[in-house]
Structure 1
Amino acid sequence: MDVLTDLLHRARARTALVRQLIQRPPWSVTYADAPPLTVMATLGGQASIRLDDSPGAPVRLAAGDIALVAGAGRHTIADDPGTPHQVTIRGGRKYLPGGEQAAGHWNLAPRTYGDGLPGATIMLRAAYELHGDVSDRLLALLPPLAVVPAGPRTGATLELLAAEVARDEPGQDAVLNRLLDLVLVLALRAWCAESATLPAWYRALGDPAIGEALRLLHTDPARRWTVAELAAKVGLSRAAFAARFATLVGEPPLTYLTGWRMTLAADLLRDTEKTVAVVAREVGYLDAFAFSVAFKRARGVSPSTCRHQAH
């Protein structure tokens, strides 16, 4: 399993709430309690997005652009940066500037709201509920706001997604989630291809040998890997492999593996009732005591404390 696929799978970036807005200007919507990852796309007209807790200026979105908001910060989308605040969405409810609750959305079709009048802006918005420590590694690929310009690959997928949003047929949620996942992966690829501030491990994926070694570690993290075995798998000498991995990833192979195992273990401890001994075996430790020592060294707390803090 390649590393990005592994992160998306383990972070549970699979189920999202998808909505379409078709609204004639002027309009402005503030999301007060955003999820860890929000995907937005302008399908028609122009829009702007602003991170309300950031000093940065609003960013304009042309038709076909995709915006990725990483983190649960408050943000506002509008037809124009100068449009006054109109409504705030908080806890799934709509509030007016004075704080009073507004009437419900004017539903045009399933998952579609707005006025649908000529000259309207058409926006897609999807809220991803990511989960666990693994999601931190995924979100580390992105700044608080990343805008991916329109392109032929993302454009074709957005057209399919827009066509499906207003439908209400058996299996509709499955179709939407898979199309949205495709939009997300294509947008992440496009962003990472142009970004100069990516984590070292992602940049290392472009190296055939080290990228393959990372794939092996993510495919079977519980295996008792040695540097010599990994080097043999990717066709390098032990010394050359160790030096190359450390240079590109920023840490030695087994240090990277230990960190990844601790990330997986933290999520298992928080999300399951498995004993510490079972969790230890699932991440590659035969001895629960050795695992507990390694976990506390990496996380600053014992496995049992980590579990207790999550509840």
Structure 2
Amino acid sequence: MSPHDGNNGVFAPASDVATPTDLLSDILRFVQLKGERVFTAECAPGFNIVFQPSSACLHVVQEGDIDVYIEDDPPLRLSRGDVFVLLRPIRYALACPSKSWRQARHELVVDGSGVRVDVLRDGIGPVRARTLSATFQFENGCGLQPAMSLLPNYIHVEKNTDQSAVLIRDVAQFLVYEKEAQEPGAALMISRVIDILVIRCIRTWSKLQGGKQGWIGALADARVSRALSALHRNPSRPWSVGDLASIAGMSRSRFAEVFLAAVGEPPLRYLHGWRLAVASDLLRKSNVRIGDIARHVGYDSEAAFSRAFKTLYGLSPSHVRSSRTN
């Protein structure tokens, strides 16, 4: 029996001539996050709020201007209506726009335990800038690794980015309502709203990045996109670079060159990561036997699959299966 048969429809049918896969949805289906805390940052003159690595975070600027400092990057100016999403827990600061920020002695440090207040206030005098903010964690750290490696550290959606910033800002108001109403199920609703906001920001970012490296590069190149669609639909096939090049309508050497430039890694390395990402997703979301999952993603034996999985993620498939939240 083909690994795509049976299993109550868990495995999708394989076909190299099917309707092209929505590659963005393919990646985003691995993004599963849990909202933690909703808070307001009130910024008076001289504010300098330093966030230590703890959680991912989303900031919607409701008033004023704010400079964001991330490691050694130049400052990023946020204005009213802008949205900033930090996708990885790294050290960064929200600071008062000033050329002397790096010489400032004052700083309000939010430590590794994360934000624990409803209003985070810093500076002296009247409030000049304000954000509606939320912290979150990615729940599926193991399965998310391949997808997250292709996303930036942060996303900045400017207020004049078509209608996206307006939509994100309006949806974010539901966070305020849920936090203040404290009705049954509020925590779940907050998580769902944050999930929508983050996905919306990623979609907006992808729309603006056409032709750049990463899977966005694949979306922009129809030839690479065709090959990836086939690979995504049928991960168990023993793909060769020549097979994928044929689907792309290119020579083997040219395809390998274009794929590397667009995606950022060679075709077969991408295939390896995609197979294990699909397997991780199935381990967490289905009751399909580990051996069947191994065959579905192209491994001849469960033992070989387990070795590859543990090498990439540091955990065995059985550990991931047993530790999932039921």
* TM-score normalized by the length of structure 1: 0.68
Following superposition of structure 1 onto structure 2, how do residues 64-213 of structure 1 map, counting pairs within 5 Å? 64-80=81-97, 82=101, 84-92=106-114, 105=117, 107=118, 119-130=127-138, 131-150=140-159, 151-167=161-177, 168=181, 176-192=190-206, 198-213=212-227
The 1-side partners of 2:134 and 2:277 are apart by 26
- Per the alignment, do residues 172 and 226 of structure 1 end up closer, same or farther by CA in structure 2, a change over 3 Å counting? farther
Cα deviation code 1:86-135 (max 9, x no counterpart): 342431466xxxxxxxxxx3x5xxxx6769x9755231323332233443
Contact 1:192 1:198 in 2 (8 A): no
Q: Does 1:56 align with 2:73?
A: yes
Q: Which residue of 2 aligns with 1:97?
A: none
What residue identity is the alignment partner of 2:107? Answer: H
- Partner SS for 1:166: helix
Q: Does 1:6 align with 2:6?
A: no
Contact 1:160 1:179 in 2 (8 A): no
The 1-side partners of 2:244 and 2:64 are apart by 51
What residue identity is the alignment partner of 1:213? Answer: A
Cα deviation code 1:53-104 (max 9, x no counterpart): x23343321112222324322222234454731342431466xxxxxxxxxx
Q: Does 1:288 align with 2:296?
A: no
The 1-side partners of 2:251 and 2:184 are apart by 51
Following superposition of structure 1 onto structure 2, how do residues 262-301 of structure 1 map, counting pairs within 5 Å? 262-265=276-279, 277-291=291-305, 295=308, 299=311
- Per the alignment, do residues 124 and 216 of structure 1 end up closer, same or farther by CA in structure 2, a change over 3 Å counting? farther
Following TM superposition, by how much is the alpha carbon of 1:284 offset from its aligned partner in structure 2, in angstroms? 3.0
Contact 2:157 2:201 in 1 (8 A): yes
Q: Which moved more, 1:55-64 or 1:187-196?
A: 187-196
Contact 2:69 2:76 in 1 (8 A): yes
- Partner SS for 1:156: helix
Unaligned stretches of 5+ residues in structure 1: 95-104
What residue identity is the alignment partner of 1:85? Answer: E
Contact 1:22 1:120 in 2 (8 A): no
Q: Which residue of 2 aligns with 1:23?
A: 42
Following TM superposition, by how much is the alpha carbon of 1:21 offset from its aligned partner in structure 2, in angstroms? 1.1
Q: How many residues align?
A: 284
The 1-side partners of 2:148 and 2:313 are apart by 23
Following TM superposition, by how much is the alpha carbon of 1:39 offset from its aligned partner in structure 2, in angstroms? 2.5
Q: Which residue of 1 aligns with 2:62?
A: 43
Cα deviation code 1:231-270 (max 9, x no counterpart): 78x6x65xx3755642332266555323311344467779
Q: 1:32 aligns with which of 49, 52, 55?
A: 52
**Quick one: percent identity of the two aligned structures?**
25
The 1-side partners of 2:25 and 2:278 are apart by 15
Q: Which moved more, 1:257-266 or 1:167-176?
A: 167-176
- Partner SS for 2:171: helix
Contact 1:210 1:244 in 2 (8 A): no
What residue identity is the alignment partner of 2:25? Answer: T
Q: Which residue of 2 aligns with 1:258?
A: 272
Contact 1:41 1:66 in 2 (8 A): yes
C-alpha RMSD of matched pairs (Å): 4.4
The 1-side partners of 2:110 and 2:279 are apart by 38
* TM-score normalized by the length of structure 2: 0.65
What residue identity is the alignment partner of 2:78? Answer: L
The 2-side partners of 1:305 and 1:159 are apart by 40
